[in-house]
Structure 1
């Protein structure tokens, strides 16, 4: 019986591990290797050592992309978690049709990011300016995606709108674990809404807050689809993220090895940021 169990285990796991190695691990290792060469994606190549890595730190376009990506990720992460928590608290209350509202709020998460991006591109380009002109609102009469200074705001709006759904579900999972007795006892002691939130709600869902913050920042640091659908990195390179720069330079610009080095650097940065963020927030959980 034990031998048949081991055989079944191998039959199920070996093909999965083989596919994972072929389509994930091997390409990643191959990319790391090519980052030490001058490979253009075709033809011959030679080893160049750490030259590509040093050039990344001297590339103004890459540094600009890093700056934009971190600005976008930090602002979006904060907005998503604020809105998600507010929505989750509202949906967790005993209001009518709260289950239906939960389903409606989750809809954006199941929509294709590219399709949502194209829809909002149309809204910002035609729909919103036409309405603003009709109402005489000059501040919204122009397409913000065409402005180098304002285009990032449109991307943030779309990214936050779609990401709120998933984070709300996680916060709801945390809120349902809080016993109602705690709120009843707090009400008897005269605690108000804010005191209940800071003394009961937030400490009890601290672990869910940590998960949401780490996942949100990681996902926003890898932003690609929204930018590709809405601005293509423009106007100019004002909304070009690191992921988009790596894609364009590596597959369209003949910089395969150079952008492979950029990808390795970015991977390490995301890992370091996530570990620091996770340890800090977990320490805060203990303090609460």
Structure 2
């Protein structure tokens, strides 16, 4: 009979403190937020239990409705763009080209910088540099600061995709490097080249990496916050107000702590449900492709 392998004390010494910290700074605040979502607490003073009143009111709140619409629009567009562009870049970097390692480093630089830093830089670019360039070159489209117009979301989308590309490219590169080159050689003999080879061979083999990127991208963009706060503060008006921004602004400075706690719980449920659906659909797709 085999003896059970003993777990090193080093493992417990590393894991237990992190688990305790996670419980204190994540789990407990989350549970407190869930509790307060059933109250009328404003973030200060006394409070009373109100049951499901906050949750029922969410479905008739136009501000929350519009913030969900914008968040979904941003998340869908960003998820599609970042995965399509990321896969194209990864395919190019995976090919035998000169300065490949240098290009990898260049593409990864945006991910190393903070989202807030990048957003403030691009806010300056959109509001100062581009209008100046448009003025000098006589290009009418560039003269206007896009962040102050109804097209402000395009600026937010651009920065979101640009900053996120590095992570997706890295995952796709890891997937492409697992593909055996002998398979491509056999495919060439059978006449499978170009886009046909990609769809019939490459994509099925990196399908798990595609699933990872799709789920992580959608989850992250549904919680978009930093880039919106830094670039538009949810404006002009409320056109670029995401769910996270609405929760922050109304919950902490608008006296709606309990109400926005309920909104945060709803947001959590929505993200979990979407992630599960994505995993189910994409897992079935992987089985179909590889079956």
TM-score norm. by structure 1 comes to: 0.96
1:199-218 alignment, distance < 5 Å: 199-218=200-219
CA 1:186–1:11 in 2, change beyond 3 Å: closer, same or farther? Answer: closer
For residues 123 and 167 of structure 1, the distance between their equivalents in structure 2, rounded to whole angstroms, comes to 25
Q: Which residue of 2 aligns with 1:54?
A: 56
Q: Which residue of 1 aligns with 2:286?
A: 285
Q: Encode CA deviations 1:144-175: one digit per residue, 9 max, x unaligned.
A: 1000x200000000000010100000000000
Q: Once the 2 structures are TM-superposed, how far is the Cα of residue 206 of structure 1 from its aligned partner?
A: 0.4
Q: Which residue of 2 aligns with 1:32?
A: 34
1:142-157 alignment, distance < 5 Å: 142-147=144-149, 149-157=150-158
Q: Once the 2 structures are TM-superposed, how far is the Cα of residue 49 of structure 1 from its aligned partner?
A: 0.2
Q: Once the 2 structures are TM-superposed, how far is the Cα of residue 10 of structure 1 from its aligned partner?
A: 5.0
Q: Which residue of 2 aligns with 1:235?
A: 236
Q: Encode CA deviations 1:66-92: one digit per residue, 9 max, x unaligned.
A: 000000000000000011000000000
Q: What is the aligned residue count?
A: 285
Segments of 5+ residues of structure 2 without an aligned counterpart are none
TM-score norm. by structure 2 comes to: 0.95
Q: Encode CA deviations 1:193-213: one digit per residue, 9 max, x unaligned.
A: 011110111111000000000
Q: Once the 2 structures are TM-superposed, how far is the Cα of residue 190 of structure 1 from its aligned partner?
A: 1.9
CA 1:31–1:141 in 2, change beyond 3 Å: closer, same or farther? Answer: same
For residues 146 and 181 of structure 2, the distance between their equivalents in structure 1, rounded to whole angstroms, comes to 46
CA 1:5–1:170 in 2, change beyond 3 Å: closer, same or farther? Answer: closer
Q: What is the Cα-based RMSD across aligned positions, in Å?
A: 1.5
Q: Which residue of 1 aligns with 2:227?
A: 226
Q: Which residue of 1 aligns with 2:253?
A: 252
1:174-213 alignment, distance < 5 Å: 174-213=175-214
